[in-house]
C-alpha cells in the first residue's frame, strides 16, 4: 500500500496516496477540479487542455500534471485561477467552431458541460472561424474537425487490437490537427469505434448510425447539477432610474426570430410585464423608428449585412443597456457557419450554380435598396459594446426575463443550470 | 516494447531525410514504406513528417529556397528579396514554379542575423542577398552552376573578446589540453570542478550544470546519454554557429568531459538543419578525436570510460530547442515538450538518464577543466561567473559575436557594437525582454539582466508594433500545437495586434492584450509557450505612450471597418455585372 500524504487545497486538509494525480486526489477529497483532457489511466498525463489550472506552492500548474506530495499547498478556488480556467474553456470555444444546436453530442459534451459549470456566456476571445473539414472517409467513424479541441485523448488511447494507433496529430502550431489512419481505423470493430466516440470529450468523433442523442432534458449535462445555480456576472444590479414605466426595444438582426418566440414563452406572465414595461421599436409592436430613449435594447442575431450594422449602432445610440440574446447575437451562431467559406463562393453557390439555367447567367442580387453582405457574420460585440449576454438557441424564456427584471427593477438574479443552455 | 523497436524508431527522421533529399519531397508511398519498415501506423509517420517544416509532402523543387522571415530579415530587405525571387523564378511564394525547379518558402531565423537578408538553397547559405544577386543566382542555377560553388562562406564576425587573458571561449586552443586532465580526475572530481566554477546552462535556462550532471550521474539506468543541444533557434541568436564553425574540437572535448562526468557511453549532437553546412566541420572534429583515442574506444581517462558521438540532424522546428521536445525529436517523434512529470536526467533519451546541454555550456565546461575553476570564477559576476557569447545584430555597425564578461553594461555593449540611434534592444529574442536604450546602466549578468545569447538592436526609426507582430507570427507558426493557450492564444493575440495596426483598437483592447498575454504565461504547458507573449507584455510596460497613441476611443462603438467588411461583396457584384 502506498503511503498516505497530507496536503491542503485552499487551506482544507486533504489526504491521498502519495503520487496520486491531483485531479483524482482532489475529487476523493470532495473538490472537483474542472478538467477536459484528463483521463484517469493515461500516464504520463496529457496536460494539453490547461483547464485544470491550480497553484502549488504559489506556482501555476495544470493539476493533472501534479502528484500528491506531503505538505503541498494547493490553491484552487481563487479569483485569478477561476478566471484562468474559464478563459481556457472560452479559448476552446473561440478556436473551434462549436455550433451546439447542430451537434449530435449537445447535452452530452464535456466542453459544453464545463461552459455551463463555469458560467461561460461568451468567449472573451475573438472567434477564429478557421475552415476545418469533416472527414467522412473512415469506415465506421466520422471526424468533425470543427469540434475538435486537440485534447489528444484519441491519439493516446485508440489503438487497434494489434497495437497500432488510429489517430495522430498532424502539422504544428496554429495548423495542428488530429487525423485518422484509414487503414487502422478499418480494423476497429463497432464496439471499439463507439468507445472512441465516448472517449472524445466533444462531438468530434462520431460513429455512423450510432449517434442517438437522448431527448432534451435527459442528456448528461441536462441532468448533472440541474437545480444548481450558475455563476453569472453582474448579479444583483441596482434598478435603473428613469420613467415610471420602463421602455425596452427589441430587434432581430441575422437571426431567426426564435429568440423573440422564446421571449413570448413566459405566457400569461406577459400580461404582468406590459403593466410595467413599454415596448418601443420592436417587431412585436411594429414600431420602425426609435420614438424615445430606451432603458434596454434586446438584440437577437448577429450582423451579416450593412443594414444589421446600422440598426445595431442605432440601438447602441438609443438604449442605455444592450443585451445580446441568443448565440447569434453573442458570436454569430448558426448563420456564422458561412464564415469559413469565402463570400464569393457562397454567392456563387446560391446565385451562380443554382441559376445557371437562366439566360443571363450568374447574377448576384444588388440594388441600392438591398442591404450589402458583410464578408462574414459578426457577433454584436464586434461592432458595439454589449452589456449582457444571454446564451441559448433560443435562450430559456425565464433566463431572459430574470435578466431583464434584474436590469430594470433590480430583482434578485440567479440562473439555475436548467435555464442555462447553448442549444 | 523492446529496445530494438525503440532504436529503430529513432531512425525515423533520417529515413524521412533520405526521401526528402532524394526527390525533394516525401510521397504517400514513402510514408507507407517507412511505416511498414518501422512497423508503425502510417499516420504516426505522417504526424512526424508534417511537424517539421523542412519535410515536404508535395514536390518542393530541385532547388528549395528558404528565405528567413525573422524581424531582422524583415527590416533588412526581406520583401524585396522575396519579390526578386518570385520574379526571377516565375514562381509564387509557398510553392514551386511551373518548371518544378524552384521552391520558394519562408523559414524562421536561420542563425545568420549578422548578415541579413539571408537564405538557404538546398541548405547552402547565401548571405547579405540583394535583388540583383537573386537574379544572377537563379540564372546561374538555370545554366547548371553548382550550388556548392555559388554558396557564400559564412563569416564568423567575431567582434569582441575580453582584453588581457580574460577570454574563455575565444582564446588559443590546442586539441587535447582539457582531456589531458581527465587522466587525473575522477568523474566526481570533474563534476566538483564544474560546481566550483558555478557554471550555468547557457541555452537560456541557466540551470547549474554541475547539478544536472550530478543528478543524471546518480540516477540508475542501463545507459546514460549526453545530448548536445545544437538547435539554437531563438531568432537573433547565432553564437553556437560560430562556436561550431570556429572551435568544433572544443565542443567535442566538452562532450567528452560531460560524458565522462555523467557516465555516458554515447553522446548525440542534435544539429539544427539550418546549420547543415557545419556538418563537415563537426564530422572532421569527431574523426580527429577518434584518432586521438578519445572516441569509439577505451579512453585514457582515469576511470574506465568508452564514449562515442553521433550527429542527429533536426528538420526545422524551433520548439525542438526545448530539451524534452528535442529528446522526442531524437527518438523519431514529433518535437513536443513534455508535461514536467519527470525530467530528462531521470528518464530521457530511450527512457534513460540523459543530460541535455547547450553547445556553449559544453564548450565552457571543457575550458573550465582546461583552465581550472578558479580562473573561470575570477571572471564575470558572483552570480554568473565567466564569460558569455552574445549574438548582436540589427541596427548596429558591427553585428557579430561578442564574448563579454558577465557584468558588461548595456551602454558599453551598445558602444562596442556601434549601435546607431538605438531605440531599444530585444534581449534573448522574441521570448525575452525589451530593454529601452535609455537603460544604459543595466548590467548583463545573473544579478540584473540575463541574456541567453540573442541581442537585437532596433533604432528609433523602427516600428515597435511591426516587431511585436513578427514575434507573434513566429510563435503562431512555431508553437508545437499541443496546448490550448500557446496554440490558439498566439493566433488570437495576432488578431488583436492586427486591430491595433489598423487603428481600430480601443483602450480596452490594450488591457486585454496585456491580460491575455499574462494568461499565456500562466497556463501554457512548457517554458516556450509561457514566454511567448513575454516580449509583448514587456514592450507595453516599457513603452506605454507608444501603445496609447495607437488606440482610438470612439464612444460605445467598436473599431469596425465597414468598407473593408463589404469589400468582398462589392467585388463579387462587380465581377458579375
Give Rg (Cα) of chain B: 24
B339 neighbourhood in chain A, CB within 8 Å: 44-47, 62, 65
Residue A128: which pLDDT band, with cuts at 50, 70 and 90? very high
Cell triple for A46:
496529457
Residue in A46, A50, A374 nearest the CB of B485: A50
Contact B482 A150 (CB under 8 A): yes
Residue in B341, B481, B577 nearest the CB of A44: B341
Helical (H) or strand (E) element with B50: helix B42-51
Question: What is the interface size between A and B, counted as CB pairs within 8 Å?
Answer: 202
Burial of A267 (0-12, 13-18, 19+ CB in 10 A): exposed
- Reported as a single tens digit per residue, the pLDDT across A209-241 is 988 778 888 888 888 887 788 865 554 455 555
Residue A241: what pLDDT? 59
Contact A67 B341 (CB under 8 A): yes
Contact A150 B480 (CB under 8 A): no
Contact B478 A44 (CB under 8 A): no
Q: Is A212 in the B-facing interface, judged by CB distances under 8 Å?
A: no
Q: Which of B99, B94, B98, B86 is nearest to B135 (CA)?
A: B86
CB interface of A with B, residues 344-363, below 8 Å: 344, 347, 352, 361-363
Minimal CA separation from B372 to chain A, in Å: 38
Helical (H) or strand (E) element with A248: strand A246-252
Contact A44 B479 (CB under 8 A): no
Residue A417: what pLDDT? 87
Q: Mind giving me the DSSP string for A352-420?
A: IGGGTTSTT-------TTSPPEEEEEE-GGGTB--SEEE-SSSPPHHHHHHHHHHHHH-----EEGGG-
Residue A361: what pLDDT? 64
- Reported as a single tens digit per residue, the pLDDT across A143-192 is 999 999 999 999 999 999 999 999 999 999 999 999 999 999 999 999 99
Contact A173 B481 (CB under 8 A): yes
Q: What is the mean pLDDT of chain B?
A: 95
Q: Is A132 in the B-facing interface, judged by CB distances under 8 Å?
A: no
Can you tell me the mean pLDDT for A203-211? 93
Cα atoms in the 13 Å half-sphere on the side-chain side of B39: 9
Q: Is A42 in the B-facing interface, judged by CB distances under 8 Å?
A: no
User: Which residue in A91, A92, A183, A319 has the most chain B C-beta atoms within 10 A of its own C-beta, making it the best mutation to test that interface?
Assistant: A91
Is residue A124 within 8 A of residue A90, CB to CB? The reply is yes
Rounded Cα gap, residues B521 and A63, in angstroms: 16
Contact B481 A94 (CB under 8 A): no
Residues 6+ apart with CB under 8 A from A79: none
Contact B492 A306 (CB under 8 A): no
Residue B287: what pLDDT? 97
Closest residue in chain A to residue B573, using alpha carbons only = A364
Contact B485 A91 (CB under 8 A): yes
Residue in A175, A342, A385 nearest the CB of B556: A385
Q: Is B565 in the A-facing interface, judged by CB distances under 8 Å?
A: yes
Residue in B342, B496, B522 nearest the CB of A60: B522
Minimal CA separation from B19 to chain A, in Å: 18
CATH number of B387-459: 3.10.20.600
Q: What is the mean pLDDT of chain A?
A: 91
- Reported as a single tens digit per residue, the pLDDT across B536-577 is 999 999 999 999 999 987 789 998 999 999 999 999 998 876
Can you tell me the mean pLDDT for B73-85? 97
Q: Which of B143, B136, B141, B100 is nearest to B124 (CA)?
A: B141
Minimal CA separation from B46 to chain A, in Å: 7
Domain covering B63-150 assigned CATH 3.30.930.10 in the classification: no
Rounded Cα gap, residues A102 and A379, in angstroms: 18
- Reported as a single tens digit per residue, the pLDDT across A7-61 is 999 999 999 999 999 999 999 999 999 998 888 778 888 899 999 999 999 999 9
B471 neighbourhood in chain A, CB within 8 Å: none
| Domain B160-377, architecture per CATH | 3-Layer(aba) Sandwich (3.40)
**Domains along chain A with CATH numbers:** 4-77 (3.10.20.740), 120-223 (3.30.70.20), 229-419 (3.40.50.700)
Structure letter (DSSP) for residue B107: E
B573 neighbourhood in chain A, CB within 8 Å: 364, 366
CB interface of B with A, residues 443-502, below 8 Å: 475-485, 487-492, 495-496
Residue B576: what pLDDT? 78
Contact B43 A184 (CB under 8 A): yes
B47 neighbourhood in chain A, CB within 8 Å: 168-170, 179
Contact A343 B568 (CB under 8 A): yes
Residue B9: which pLDDT band, with cuts at 50, 70 and 90? confident
Can you tell me the mean pLDDT for B82-104? 95
Is residue B243 within 8 A of residue B381, CB to CB? The reply is no
Minimal CA separation from A408 to chain B, in Å: 21
Helical (H) or strand (E) element with B262: helix B248-262
Fold of B464-549: de novo design (two linked rop proteins) (1.20.1440)
Rounded Cα gap, residues B276 and A76, in angstroms: 48
Rounded Cα gap, residues B54 and B105, in angstroms: 10
Assess whether pLDDT exceeds 50 at residue A379: yes
Q: Which of A182, A173, A158, A156 is nearest to B50 (CA)?
A: A173
Residue A235: what pLDDT? 46
Rounded Cα gap, residues A18 and A143, in angstroms: 39
Minimal CA separation from A219 to chain B, in Å: 27
Assess whether pLDDT exceeds 50 at residue B314: yes
- Which residues does residue A61 pair with via DSSP β-bridges, in sequence order? A54
- Reported as a single tens digit per residue, the pLDDT across B117-154 is 999 999 999 999 999 999 999 999 999 999 999 999 99
Contact A172 B476 (CB under 8 A): no
Residue in B44, B485, B576 nearest the CB of A88: B485
Residue B4: what pLDDT? 42
Minimal CA separation from B310 to chain A, in Å: 27
- Reported as a single tens digit per residue, the pLDDT across B452-493 is 999 999 999 999 999 999 999 999 999 999 999 999 999 999
- Reported as a single tens digit per residue, the pLDDT across A308-352 is 999 999 999 999 999 999 999 999 999 999 999 999 999 888 887
Residue in B477, B570, B572 nearest the CB of A173: B477
Closest residue in chain A to residue B495, using alpha carbons only = A126
A125 neighbourhood in chain B, CB within 8 Å: 488, 492, 516
* Antiparallel, parallel or unpaired: β B433-436 and B422-427: antiparallel
Residue B5: what pLDDT? 45
Residue in A170, A184, A316 nearest the CB of B47: A170
Distance (Å) of CA A36 to CA A125, A241, B476: 19, 44, 23
Minimal CA separation from A266 to chain B, in Å: 32
Amino acid at each position: 500500500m502506498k503511503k498516505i500524504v497530507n496536503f491542503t487545497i485552499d487551506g482544507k486538509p486533504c489526504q491521498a496516496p502519495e503520487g496520486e494525480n491531483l485531479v483524482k486526489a482532489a475529487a476523493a477529497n470532495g473538490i472537483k477540479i474542472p478538467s477536459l483532457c484528463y483521463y484517469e489511466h493515461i500516464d504520463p498525463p496529457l496536460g494539453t487542455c490547461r483547464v485544470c489550472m491550480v497553484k502549488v506552492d504559489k506556482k501555476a500548474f495544470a493539476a493533472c500534471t501534479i502528484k500528491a506530495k506531503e505538505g503541498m499547498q494547493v490553491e484552487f478556488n481563487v479569483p485569478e485561477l477561476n478566471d484562468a480556467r474559464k478563459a481556457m474553456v472560452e479559448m476552446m470555444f473561440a478556436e473551434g467552431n462549436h455550433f451546439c444546436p447542430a451537434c449530435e453530442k449537445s447535452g452530452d459534451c464535456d466542453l459544453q458541460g464545463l461552459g455551463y459549470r463555469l458560467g461561460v456566456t461568451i468567449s472573451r476571445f475573438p472567434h477564429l472561424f478557421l475552415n476545418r473539414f469533416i472527414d467522412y472517409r473512415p469506415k465506421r467513424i466520422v471526424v468533425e474537425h470543427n469540434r475538435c479541441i486537440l485534447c489528444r485523448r484519441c491519439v493516446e488511447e485508440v489503438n487497434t487490437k494489434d497495437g497500432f494507433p488510429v489517430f495522430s496529430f498532424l502539422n504544428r502550431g496554429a495548423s495542428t490537427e488530429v487525423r485518422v489512419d484509414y487503414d487502422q481505423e478499418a480494423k476497429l470493430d463497432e464496439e471499439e469505434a463507439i468507445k472512441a466516440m465516448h472517449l472524445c470529450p466533444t462531438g468530434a468523433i462520431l460513429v455512423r448510425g450510432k449517434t442517438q442523442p437522448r431527448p432534451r432534458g435527459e442528456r448528461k449535462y441536462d441532468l448533472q447539477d440541474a437545480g444548481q445555480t450558475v455563476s453569472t456576472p453582474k448579479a444583483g444590479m441596482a434598478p435603473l432610474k428613469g420613467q415610471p414605466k420602463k421602455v425596452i426595444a427589441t430587434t432581430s438582426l441575422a437571426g431567426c426570430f426564435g429568440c423573440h418566440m422564446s421571449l413570448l414563452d413566459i405566457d400569461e406572465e406577459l400580461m404582468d410585464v406590459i403593466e410595467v414595461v413599454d415596448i418601443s421599436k420592436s417587431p412585436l409592436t411594429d414600431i420602425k423608428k426609435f420614438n424615445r430613449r430606451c432603458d434596454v435594447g434586446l438584440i437577437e442575431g448577429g450582423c451579416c449585412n450593412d443594414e444589421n450594422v446600422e440598426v445595431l449602432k442605432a440601438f447602441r445610440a438609443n438604449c442605455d443597456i444592450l443585451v445580446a440574446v441568443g448565440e447569434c447575437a453573442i458570436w454569430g451562431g448558426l448563420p456564422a457557419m458561412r464564415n469559413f467559406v469565402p463570400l464569393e463562393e457562397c454567392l456563387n453557390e446560391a446565385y451562380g450554380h443554382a441559376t445557371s439555367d437562366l439566360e443571363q447567367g450568374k447574377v448576384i442580387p444588388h440594388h441600392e435598396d438591398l442591404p450589402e453582405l458583410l464578408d462574414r457574420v459578426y457577433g454584436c460585440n464586434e461592432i458595439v459594446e454589449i452589456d449582457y449576454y444571454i446564451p441559448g438557441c433560443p435562450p430559456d424564456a425565464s433566463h431572459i426575463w430574470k435578466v431583464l427584471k434584474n436590469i430594470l427593477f433590480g430583482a434578485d438574479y440567479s440562473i439555475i443550470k436548467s435555464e442555462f443552455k447553448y442549444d | 516494447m523492446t529496445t530494438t523497436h525503440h532504436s529503430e524508431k529513432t531512425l525515423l527522421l533520417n529515413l524521412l531525410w533520405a526521401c526528402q533529399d532524394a526527390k525533394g519531397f516525401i510521397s504517400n508511398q514513402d510514408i507507407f514504406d517507412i511505416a511498414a519498415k518501422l512497423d508503425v501506423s502510417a499516420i504516426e509517420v505522417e504526424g512526424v513528417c508534417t511537424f517539421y517544416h523542412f519535410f515536404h509532402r508535395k514536390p518542393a523543387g530541385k532547388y528549395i529556397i528558404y528565405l528567413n522571415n525573422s524581424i531582422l530579415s524583415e527590416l533588412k530587405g526581406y520583401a524585396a528579396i522575396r519579390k526578386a525571387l518570385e520574379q526571377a523564378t516565375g514562381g509564387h511564394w509557398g510553392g514551386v514554379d511551373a518548371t518544378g525547379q524552384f521552391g520558394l518558402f519562408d523559414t524562421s531565423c536561420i542563425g545568420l542575423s549578422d548578415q541579413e537578408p539571408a537564405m538557404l538553397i538546398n541548405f547552402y547559405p547565401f548571405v547579405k542577398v540583394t535583388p540583383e544577386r537573386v537574379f544572377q543566382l537563379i540564372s546561374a542555377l538555370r545554366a547548371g552552376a553548382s550550388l556548392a560553388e555559388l554558396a557564400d562562406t559564412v563569416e564568423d564576425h567575431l567582434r569582441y573578446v575580453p582584453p588581457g587573458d580574460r577570454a574563455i571561449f575565444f582564446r588559443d586552443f590546442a586539441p587535447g589540453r582539457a582531456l589531458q586532465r581527465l587522466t587525473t580526475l575522477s568523474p566526481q572530481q570533474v563534476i566538483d570542478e564544474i560546481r566550483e566554477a558555478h557554471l550555468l546552462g547557457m541555452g537560456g535556462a541557466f540551470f547549474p550544470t554541475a547539478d544536472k550532471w550530478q543528478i543524471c550521474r546518480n540516477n540508475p539506468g542501463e545507459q546514460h546519454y549526453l545530448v548536445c543541444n545544437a538547435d539554437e533557434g531563438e531568432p537573433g541568436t547565432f553564437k553556437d554557429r560560430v562556436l561550431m564553425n570556429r572551435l568544433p574540437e572544443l565542443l567535442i572535448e566538452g562532450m567528452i568531459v560531460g560524458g565522462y562526468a555523467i557516465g555516458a557511453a554515447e553522446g548525440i549532437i542534435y544539429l539544427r538543419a539550418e546549420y547543415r553546412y557545419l556538418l563537415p566541420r563537426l564530422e572532421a572534429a569527431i574523426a580527429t578525436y577518434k584518432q586521438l583515442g578519445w572516441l569509439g574506444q577505451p579512453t585514457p581517462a582515469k576511470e574506465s570510460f568508452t564514449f562515442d558521438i553521433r550527429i542527429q540532424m533536426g528538420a526545422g522546428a524551433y520548439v525542438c530547442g526545448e530539451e524534452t521536445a528535442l529528446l522526442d525529436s531524437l527518438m523519431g517523434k514529433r518535437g513536443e515538450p513534455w508535461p514536467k512529470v519527470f525530467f530528462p536526467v531521470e528518464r530521457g533519451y530511450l527512457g534513460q538518464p540523459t543530460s541535455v546541454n547547450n553547445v556553449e555550456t559544453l564548450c565552457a565546461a571543457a575550458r573550465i577543466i582546461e583552465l581550472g575553476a578558479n580562473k573561470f570564477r575570477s571572471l564575470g559576476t558572483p552570480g554568473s561567473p565567466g564569460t558569455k557569447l552574445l549574438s548582436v545584430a540589427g541596427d548596429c555597425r558591427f553585428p557579430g559575436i561578442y564574448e563579454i564578461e558577465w557584468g558588461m553594461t548595456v551602454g558599453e555593449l551598445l558602444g562596442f557594437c556601434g549601435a546607431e540611434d538605438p531605440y531599444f534592444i530585444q534581449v534573448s529574442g522574441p521570448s525575452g525582454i525589451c530593454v529601452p536604450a535609455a537603460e544604459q546602466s543595466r548590467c548583463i549578468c545573473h544579478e540584473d539582466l540575463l541574456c541567453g545569447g540573442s541581442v537585437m538592436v532596433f533604432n528609433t526609426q523602427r516600428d515597435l508594433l511591426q516587431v511585436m507582430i513578427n514575434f507573434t507570427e513566429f510563435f503562431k507558426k512555431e508553437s508545437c500545437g499541443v496546448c490550448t493557450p500557446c496554440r490558439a492564444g498566439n493566433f488570437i493575440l495576432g488578431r488583436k495586434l492586427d486591430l491595433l495596426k489598423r487603428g481600430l483598437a480601443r483602450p480596452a483592447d490594450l488591457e486585454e492584450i496585456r491580460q491575455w498575454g499574462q494568461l499565456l504565461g500562466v497556463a501554457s504547458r512548457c517554458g516556450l509557450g509561457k514566454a511567448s507573449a513575454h516580449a509583448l507584455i514587456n514592450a507595453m510596460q516599457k513603452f506605454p505612450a507608444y501603445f496609447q497613441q495607437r488606440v482610438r476611443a470612439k464612444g460605445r462603438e467598436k473599431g469596425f471597418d465597414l468598407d473593408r467588411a463589404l469589400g468582398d461583396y462589392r467585388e463579387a457584384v462587380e465581377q458579375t455585372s
